[in-house]
Amino acid sequence: MKRALEKTNEAMKRKWDAGKRKEVTWKEGDLVWLDAIHYNMDQPLKKLATKRLSPFPIKQKVSRVLYKLKIPTMWKSIHPIINKSYLTPYTPSSFEQQTQRSSI
C-alpha cells in the first residue's frame, strides 16, 4: 500500500510540474512582449485585436514579480510597471519574410 501511494505521488508531481510555467527572470535591457488582453485596442471585434504588444525593453526590476518597462510616452493608457505574468520573452522571427518591412 505504501509503495502504491509513493508511486501515485510521483506520477501526480510529474504531471503537475509538466503543466507549470518555467520561472523566467529578466535583466535590464532584455526585450519582452506585453500581453494585450487587459488593454482596449479599439478593434471592432475582440478576435481581431492585437494579442501582444510591441517588444519593450526592461528598464529595471522593481520587485520579485514586477518589472518596469520602457514604454513610449504616447501610450498613456499603459502603466510602465507590469507584473511578470503579463510578459513573454521576445524571440526574433526566424523567417526572412517576416523581418523585412514592406515598401508600400
Calculate Rg over the CA atoms of the chain.
20
Q: Residue 99 — very low, low, confident or very high, per pLDDT cuts 50/70/90? A: low
Domain 27-92 has CATH 3.40.50: no
pLDDT tens sequence across 5-15: 999 999 999 98
Phi, psi (rounded to 5 degrees) for 51: -85, -40
Q: Residue 103 — very low, low, confident or very high, per pLDDT cuts 50/70/90? A: very low
Site of grid cell 518597462: 69
Structure confidence at residue 95 (pLDDT): 77
How much is the average pLDDT of 80-91?
Answer: 90
CB 32 within 8 A of CB 26: yes
Structure confidence at residue 100 (pLDDT): 58
pLDDT tens sequence across 30-43: 999 999 888 777 77
**Grid coordinates standing for 9?**
505521488
Distance in angstroms (rounded) separating the CA atoms of residues 59 and 67? 8
pLDDT tens sequence across 25-78: 888 999 999 998 887 777 788 788 888 888 999 999 999 899 999 999 888 888
